[in-house]
Amino acid sequence: MNNSVGFIGTGNMGGALAKAAARAVASEALFVADKFADKAEALAAELGCKAVAAEEIAKNCDFIVLGVKPQMLAALLQELKPVLNARTDEFTLVSMAAGVAMADIQKMVGAEYPVIRIMPNTPVAVGQGMVLYDHTDNVSEEALAAFCEFMGYAGRLDPLPEKLIDAGSAVSGCGPAFACLFMEALADGGVACGLPRAKAMEYAAQMLLGTAALALESGQHPGQMKDAVCSPGGSTIAGVRALEQGGFRAAAMNAVEEAYYRTLELGK
């Protein structure tokens, strides 16, 4: 693609997304910046791109990806505002800040620049993320297509109205922590049955990966997939009953709802 993309804030999420984007964006069109220049330079060396000052990205890039923590965003945009306001060409701001609305970003920069809001999750680091996104009406079709091209390497992209992003995030953004708890608990069960820890972890992780892939690829309902593994009077249905006795489904539903309410609280 021909567009230039700059990442400001190369921490966990910004860094992971920059790595994904590097697969679509030519190295001379990819830029990274961080408060800690060393951090940006190490990432730039890994990706074969350039580490620059945040102002340079704000001045020149077609896509300016904001990867700082939500509480740092206002200060960063205050700093970049004069540089952005001096531009006469078209550019798009991409924000990953949890709980910050697109209208808030526009207020922070004092102009209605095109904004794409994304909600990624940690598996973007291995190209298996879930990236929810919405955009302001003034994002051009070309810009959206270019965004989908470079963000596509982070995983699965799904357009979602902004009012649902917090709900989506409670499943896909917070979900890796819930899935990890399940994964660890399954491995603990394996160890209790005599498996070495490393093997139990590997089996649990690959089983979750494979089951998710099967659900997505086949389009089967999880209930149907569960039924297919449960033979009458067999061992799997005995395990299913144990999970039901432990209130597993209610616990998982409550986890998502609690995470959602907490996001709403933090956004106030």
Structure tokens at 155: 């995983």
If the CB atoms of residues 98 and 144 are measured against ligand NAP, the closer one turns out to be 98
CB atoms near residue 179 (< 10 Å) = 15
Q: Which is nearer to ligand NAP, 120 or 155 (CB)?
A: 120
Compute the least distance from the CB of residue 227 to ligand NAP, in Å.
34
In the complex with ligand NAP, the residue whose CB is nearer, 96 or 259, is: 96
Instruction: Report the nearest approach of ligand NAP to the CB of residue 254 (Å).
Output: 21
What count of Cα atoms within 13 Å lies in the side-chain half-sphere of residue 250?
4
Q: Which is nearer to ligand NAP, 120 or 190 (CB)?
A: 120
What is the smallest separation between the CB atom of 111 and ligand NAP, expressed in angstroms? 19
CA distances from 165 to 117, 135, 159, 170 (A): 9, 12, 10, 9
Binding site for ligand NAP (CB under 6 A): 8-14, 33-36, 39, 54, 67-70, 72, 76, 96-98, 119-122, 173
Tokens encoding 181: 């708890």
CB of 96 to ligand NAP, least distance (A): 4
Q: Which is nearer to ligand NAP, 19 or 39 (CB)?
A: 39
Q: How far is the CB of 74 from ligand NAP (least distance, A)?
A: 10
Shortest distance, position 194 Cβ to ligand NAP, whole Å: 35
- ∠ CA 137-262-222 to the nearest 5 degrees? 80
Say which amino acid occupies 1: M
Nearest to ligand NAP by Cβ — which residue?
A: 11
**Is the Cβ of residue 19 or residue 200 nearer to ligand NAP in the bound state?**
19
Whole-angstrom distance, CA of residue 218 vs CA of residue 210? 12
